């Protein structure tokens, strides 16, 4: 990834396993957005090491993306939820209550549960920040993509 250190731009590649294009947005070398779109933007480059790693992941290689630098473009409360999602290992799932505890919140407090659910729903970088690993939660990963990712990981 050294040649992309500090890079900003849009990168996109079609992945047949998803029947979608994965679009990545970077600013100053940090990932700020992941989208699943039908067609790549005309100005998108299709070469980026993270896209290569996504391809390997979709082919069944275990990958957790924990070293991909993410610049969360959400508030501090949502950020704690998203940072906690990154702690859920490949091939495992977690409940919302577990994520609430991981974020140092009270799983018996309705406001804390709502806050974490909102953070998961606002995830700007699905797949890299794995909201698909959270049970019975409305993350930002589209449902069809979520099922494919869960199948890949055996969840």
User: Is 80 in the same domain as 141?
Assistant: yes
Structural domain that includes position 130: 76-153
**Beta pairing partners, 25:** 10, 33
**Same domain membership, residue 123 and residue 83:** yes
Number of domains present in the structure of the chain: 2
Q: How confident is the model at residue 73 (pLDDT cuts 50, 70, 90)?
A: confident
Q: How far apart, in whole angstroms, are the C-alpha atoms of residue 149 and residue 18?
A: 9
Provide the CATH number for the domain around residue 92: 1.10.10.10
The answer to whether position 15 is within a domain reads yes
User: Strands across the sheet with 9-15, in order?
Assistant: 9-15, 20-27, 30-37
Cβ atoms of residues 125 and 33 within 8 Å: yes
Work out the mean pLDDT of the chain and round it to a whole number: 93
Whether residues 90 and 118 fall in one domain: yes
pTM across the whole model:
0.90
Residue 85 lies in a domain: yes
**Does the residue 149 lie in any domain?**
yes
DSSP letters along 88-125, please?
A: SPTT--B-HHHHHHHTT--TT-HHHHHHHHHHHHT-SS
- pLDDT tens track for 96-141: 999 999 999 999 999 999 999 999 999 999 999 999 999 988 889 9
Say whether both 83 and 142 belong to one domain. yes
Contact at 8 Å (CB) between 131 and 86? no
Residues 47 and 99 in one domain: no
Indicate if the pLDDT at residue 3 is higher than 60. Answer: no
Based on the domain organization, do 98 and 142 belong to the same domain? yes
Backbone angles phi, psi at 123, to 5 degrees: -50, 115
The reply to whether 118 falls in a domain is yes
Residue 31 is assigned to a structural domain of this protein: yes
Q: Is residue 18 part of a domain?
A: yes
Q: Is the pLDDT of residue 4 over 90?
A: no
**87 & 147 share domain:** yes
């Amino acid at each position: 990834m050294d040649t992309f250190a500090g890079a900003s731009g849009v990168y996109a590649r079609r992945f047949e396993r998803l029947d979608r294009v994965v679009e990545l947005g970077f600013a100053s070398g940090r990932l700020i957005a992941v989208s699943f779109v039908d067609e790549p933007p005309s100005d998108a480059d299709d070469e980026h090491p993270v896209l290569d790693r996504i391809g390997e992941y979709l082919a069944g290689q275990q990958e957790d993306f924990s070293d991909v630098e993410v610049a969360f473009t959400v508030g501090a409360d949502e950020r704690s939820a998203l940072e906690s999602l990154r702690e859920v290992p490949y091939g495992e799932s977690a409940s919302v209550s577990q994520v609430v505890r991981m974020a140092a919140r009270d799983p018996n407090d309705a406001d804390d549960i709502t806050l974490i659910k909102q953070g998961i729903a606002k995830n700007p970088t699905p797949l890299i920040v794995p909201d698909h690993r959270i049970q019975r939660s409305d993350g930002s990963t589209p449902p069809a993509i979520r099922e494919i990712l869960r199948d890949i990981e055996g969840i």
